[in-house]
């Protein structure tokens, strides 16, 4: 619930800031505004997926990796929004940059999820083998 409240406040601050501050209403600024709102919504969903109960929720790689990816993603989007003035003449470059940032985040989130699930599976398999005494049995030719 706290996560939803924090992100709701952040979204409301961004919306209020865009409409109440003296920001020139051009297409590039609308793209920046939209990309910032989209990144906040994506971060909210990723954070909710992070705190939701999962079979691999105990995996340090999953929690640490996904939370780091969320922070890096948000920082990259905010930095790109601050430099919108550099893209005034070539708006398509800004759109491409935002698409690239989103694609990199989605790819890294999928990789983190898949690797953490694989690590969790391997850890569970190793633990099961330890409990069954599999590693206490001598190998062929051993003592």
What string of pLDDT tens digits covers the 143 residues of the chain? 777 888 888 888 888 888 888 777 777 888 888 888 888 888 888 888 777 766 655 566 777 788 888 888 888 888 888 888 888 888 888 888 888 989 999 999 888 888 887 887 877 787 787 777 666 665 666 55
pLDDT in the model for residue 58 = 55
This prediction's pTM:
0.73
For the chain, the maximum distance between any two Cα atoms, rounded to a whole number of angstroms, is 80
Q: Quote the pLDDT of residue 103.
A: 92
* pLDDT confidence of residue 86: 83
At residue 32, the pLDDT reads: 84
Angstrom CA distances, 125 to 119, 133, 137, stand at: 10, 12, 17
Rounded Cα gap, residues 51 and 114, in angstroms? 17
> pLDDT at position 140, please?
67
At residue 15's C-alpha, the angle toward residues 13 and 16, to 5°, is 65
Q: Which residues of 45-70 are buried (b: 16+ CB within 10 A; e: fewer)?
A: ebbeebeeebebeebebbbebbeebb
């Amino acid at each position: 619930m706290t996560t939803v409240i924090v992100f709701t406040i952040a979204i409301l601050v961004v919306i209020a800031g865009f409409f109440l501050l003296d920001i020139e209403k051009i297409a590039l600024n609308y793209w920046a505004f939209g990309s910032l709102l989209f990144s906040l919504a994506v971060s909210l969903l990723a954070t909710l997926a992070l705190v939701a109960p999962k079979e691999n929720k105990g995996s340090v790689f999953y929690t640490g990796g996904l939370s780091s990816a969320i922070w890096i993603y948000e920082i990259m989007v905010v930095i790109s929004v601050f430099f919108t003035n550099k893209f005034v003449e070539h708006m398509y470059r800004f759109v491409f940059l935002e698409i690239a940032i989103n694609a990199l985040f989605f790819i890294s989130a999928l990789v983190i999820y898949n690797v953490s699930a694989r690590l969790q599976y391997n850890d569970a398999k190793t633990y099961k083998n330890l409990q069954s005494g599999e590693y206490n049995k001598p190998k062929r030719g051993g003592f």
